[in-house]
Chain A
Amino acid sequence: MAKGAAGGSDLARQEQRLAYVLLAPTFLILLAIAIYPLLSVFYYSFTNETFASATPTESVGLSNYQNLLSMTIRTVPPKIDETTGQPQVDPDTGETKYQSAVAVLPREPLRFKQLTQFNLFGTQYVLGASDPDFIRSIWDTILFAVVTVFLELVLGMVVALIVNANFKGRGLMRALILVPWAVPTAVSSQMWAYMLQPNRTGFFNTFLWRIGLGGGEIPFLSDPAWQLPSMILIDVWKTTPFMALLLLAGIQLIPGDIYEAANVDGAGAMRKFFQLTLPLLRGTIAVALVFRTLDALRVFDLFQIVLGQARYSMASFTYYQLIQNRAMGYSSASSVIIFIVLSAFAIIYMRSLGVQSNEQ
């Protein structure tokens, strides 16, 4: 239709010209603040550009990427008892003692540092990376994204079903669930950081201590084992409402007579949910999932404010490389990697959403 009309009358040509004129400002602005900087980030990622540094900027090829992503696995030999020639065993735990991982990890051309150690079929291995912080940030961010999005989906569905039910004060409730979403992340991060204090001045430690769990001194934000669960808890609180709203919109699109037919058949609430609501919501859920995954993968505020440099997300790693280390080139390379990861997800999103222009 568009093509036929465009070639036809004056009016259609006028309309087409107007469309281009109206779109021009948006596209010019996006060219200036998105496309141009993106291209320059690609360019910088192949250089050693550093802010306020005396070394001249030069091209370093792929070495930034190499530095960020290089990983290796080495076996760690056990410590040998010099008198017996047998591996040393810790007399208390009965576990074999191993040599220091530093000794087995390569130092040239890149210096590898230990990421983690694991034992497989009786052999001790060390996983080394030239930038363990970055590799860990990728792993942590992906784990964070997968777990938060899953929990948000489940809880968001519960919330959506509740505020979809008929009860007095439903309007108020729908406004209320927007509160976590509306509170600035900087504020909610500080609120939660205070609630998660490592002693009984914090709400959580007091609460758990009252009900007999923990000694009231759980270091939620400094113990590596608790850091990610804490981040996940905060993000689930903050973002479940958004998920619930998306799902609610989907639920409201389901025609009511489908349920009436099910009522006649005498289907229970559970069966109605799993056999009617859930399948009919498949499209909405797919969109919400990928949309939220993209958002979670670029998490910055929460990690930077609550954990600072104790533990990075991909975005906060990039930020600290840029601002703290002034490493423009290195930070750009990590930006590019994030961009590629997110683009892959975005393409899935576009496919599942299916853009239609109803004029064509």
Chain B
Amino acid sequence: MSAALSQAAALTEAPAIELRGVTVRFMSTQREVVALNDINFTLLPGSFLTLLGPSGCGKSTLLRVVADIIAPSAGTVRVLGHAPVEARRRREIGFVFQDSTLLPWRSAIDNVRLPLQVGGGARTRRAGRTPEELLALVGLTGWEQAMPHELSGGMRQRVAIARALLGDPRILLMDEPFGALDEITRDRLNDELLHVWRETGTTILFVTHSIHEAAYLGQQVLMLAANPGRVREIVPIELPEPRHLSIRDTAEFGALAGRLRTILETC
């Protein structure tokens, strides 16, 4: 149903994210490094794409190009039909880092409120969930006044997700958000992220180095190869929705994971 809706929306709306021939070069003292080479892909609104690849393949760089943190050396990037800087200024982009990046002197709820207090956030704010509702959405009701050092790593990451969702951004960029967490917490947060995605209808671009996470979360897996960072393959994940963790025990999932692993070996 939601897939059909986003398909219909795609016909009228601009793609959520569109990259054409995107290349990023860095100058280091010894030589020029090509972080990304001629990246092309289109992401429809409301979809969930995971980025998988070996370290140094430019996954994080790709997210930063979309978020207008890094400017591409060549090629064009369109976010919701506009330049990334436009999308950033309009607060269409939420970003979740590997490290929760909470301000340690602020309580959980005040961390979620940060986007309202900088960059004219109070003005650009659309009718969306309140900070309290967002904490409830990520399962942190009752922890509003807790300080970051009183929260576990998983809880801090949930606060970071709630903060990224403030103002209902249409794009959510996640850079290995659960990479530093233990497997049990990571599984739980994977499920909660799918719940959040279904609730909000946000377009998610999710970087991971876990094959299982990539296959479980994504509707598609964009596989990147390293040196230079380039698109190796885009693998559609045709698993029934809504997904539950038990799906990982099926032969179908095992075959998918196996296929991703085989491709990864040639990246």
Are the chains A and B members of one assembly?
Answer: no
Chain A contact residues, CB within 8 Å of chain B: none
Chain B contact residues, CB within 8 Å of chain A: none
